[in-house]
Amino acid sequence: MSLFGTTYPPIDLDGAVVVISGGGRGIGRATAELIATRGALVCVGDLDEETAVDTAASIGARARGYALDVTSRESWDVFVSTVIGEFGHIDILVNNAGVMPLGGFLDESDATSRVTLDVNVWGPIHGMRAVLPGMVDRRRGHVVNIASMAGKLPVPGMAVYNASKFGAVGLSASARVEFADLGVSVSAVLPSAVRTGLSSGVPLGKGMPTVEPEVVARAVVDTVAHRRAETTVPRYLAGWDLVDAVVPEWMINIGRRVVDDRRALTSVDPNGRADYEKRVARQAENGVRNPK
């Protein structure tokens, strides 16, 4: 580390080997599609192996699809060893897999809360522990953890999800400092509401910044060049830490009422969200914890 900061070894996306968890749908798929256009070799991991393979096939010869349960360190180890066996190393890890149950804190089952923490916190932990040793040995590499503005901004009806994303932000920040002198960068991307299956049935807009998965994908790919610690999507949300520090709580609460921050408790369309919630509940009951 230099006096004025860290200079990381550059990574040329043309020919880079990239692994993406939860890559079959949503942000993961959009990222895989975009980064492949830059010449990268993309390895899509997803609990739904068929979806991972189909996504890779739609991208073309520069992509491969694999089964991956992010809550299992063994599954990560098999995935990573397979990728390294085929391509020799990993340049970029994108920890994208995530779940977002909604509802009252006291109404949420322990099994659902456990799923949320297992996927959103243990998923990145397992992924980093599986991939970072090779990056450290090569003294080059880049990790992107897809967190959320919910890792900065508490929202009623998302208490355990908030906890998981606060955890992902803290994990990223600490690991970034720990590995900076070893040539490996760790960046967190914090989207606002994203139009994917995770937000199905939730009324978006109405003062809540909302983005498409392709916009988040561009932010993920851009981190390979700038290596910033955090990137919010949209970018103007980067000022939230300052707002939270200096604006009185009563003023923030007025803003919350204006944007209806309780919509996760009061305004969710149960029909529109039913399929997603059933997948989460079914996989929680079965002990399989990476619904996408």
Q: Which amino acid is at 163?
A: A
Instruction: For CA atoms 116, 233, 6, 32, give the dihedral sign.
Output: positive
Nearest to 24 by CA among 97, 81, 73: 97
Report the alpha-carbon distance of residue 122 to residue 128 in Å, rounded: 10
What residues contact residue 177 under an 8 Å CB cut-off, 6+ apart?
none
Query: Active-site residue 66, yes or no?
Result: no
Name the residues annotated as catalytic: 161
